[in-house]
Copies of this chain bind each other. A is one copy, B any other.
Amino acid sequence: MHLITLTTDFGTVDWFVGTMKGVLLGINPSARIVDLTHGVAAGDIRAGAFALTAGCRFFPKGTVHIAVVDPGVGSVREAIAVETERYFFVGPDNGVLSWALRNERIRTVRTLKNEKYFLPQISKTFHGRDIFAPVAAHLSRGMAIEKLGPSKKEFVRLDWPEPRAKGRSIEGEIVYIDGFGNAITNLGAEVLNVFGGRRLEVLVKGKRLCAIESCYAAVRARKAVGVIGSSGFLEIAVNGGSAAKNFGLIPGTRVSVVSPTGTYE
């Protein structure tokens, strides 16, 4: 199999994503292409990085992941391909790959310099089609990554907000708002285990918002609830509604979790 995924902010109302697939299949007719998402907010590198991180690990070994959220396209930012133990990653070197790479064992990072593996004509506005798609198609055919360009020691890393223990609470923040309006935090299930299974409450701006339950349906319709979501992080949801809209949550909003009945161990 030659599996390739796409994570972009191109949306689906135009032909942009379709032409990337035309380029991919022109170079590797056996490629299988999966849209991870094209709904990243335009230019929102952190949202793209989170989507890629949350989604990429469900794909089989050898998959080539393309991520293009690229507001600096055509300017000085570099383009890279990364080989890890499990996957390949291709995209601009602006941090969009960096959160996914935190979970991978990196073998090599290459700057995309060899124009032999690009389209013959390179636009200044659409490297997804002209550079990243052809490069990924060649990688998916088994081409050695070394051919793409020189090795690169460092790449741009977005800072990941680490949770912090503070007295009896753990402090974190919203990192992503999903299409249902669920607000996903940086607080992983393992972080919350420090409370030893006690009943936990979620506070936003110092105010109690909801308890952490096992599923959305554990609370009545239109009520707020905290759950460990499918990406392994605490998320704030409203059963049948949008937590983001109801409570004005956006990426960066501070969140804390406390156990009203116990102490931080």
Identity of the chain B residue whose Cβ is nearest the Cβ of A241 in the assembled complex:
B42
Query: Interface digits, A1-42 against B, CB 8 Å rule (1 contact, 0 not)?
Result: 101010100111111111101110110010010111111001
| Neighbouring B residues of A69 by C-beta, 8 Å | none
Are B13 and A36 in contact (CB-based, < 8 A)?
Answer: no
Q: Give CA–CA (A228, B74) in the complex, Å.
A: 11
Are A227 and B124 in contact (CB-based, < 8 A)?
Answer: yes
Query: Interface digits, A218-253 against B, CB 8 Å rule (1 contact, 0 not)?
Result: 100000000111100000000110000000000000
Are B25 and A125 in contact (CB-based, < 8 A)?
Answer: no
Comparing A54-62, A108-116, A140-148, A201-209, the segment that makes contact with chain B is A54-62
Are A34 and B59 in contact (CB-based, < 8 A)?
Answer: no
Are B55 and A19 in contact (CB-based, < 8 A)?
Answer: yes
| Neighbouring B residues of A215 by C-beta, 8 Å | 73-75, 124-125
Q: Give CA–CA (A51, B229) in the complex, Å.
A: 27
Q: Give CA–CA (A230, B121) in the complex, Å.
A: 10
Q: Is A188 an interface residue (CB 8 A)?
A: no
Are A58 and B229 in contact (CB-based, < 8 A)?
Answer: no
Identity of the chain B residue whose Cβ is nearest the Cβ of A5 in the assembled complex:
B18
| Neighbouring B residues of A42 by C-beta, 8 Å | 180, 240
Q: Give CA–CA (A17, B239) in the complex, Å.
A: 20
Q: Is A263 an interface residue (CB 8 A)?
A: no
| Neighbouring B residues of A43 by C-beta, 8 Å | 240
Identify 26 residue pairs between A and B in the complex whose beta-carbon atoms are under 8 Å apart, listed by A's number.
A1-B25, A3-B25, A7-B15, A13-B178, A14-B179, A15-B51, A16-B230, A17-B35, A18-B34, A18-B37, A19-B54, A21-B34, A22-B59, A25-B32, A25-B34, A26-B59, A26-B60, A42-B180, A72-B217, A73-B217, A74-B216, A75-B218, A123-B228, A123-B230, A124-B214, A125-B228
6 additional contacts, CB 8 Å, given A71-B239, A123-B229?
Answer: A15-B52, A19-B55, A22-B60, A25-B59, A125-B227, A126-B230
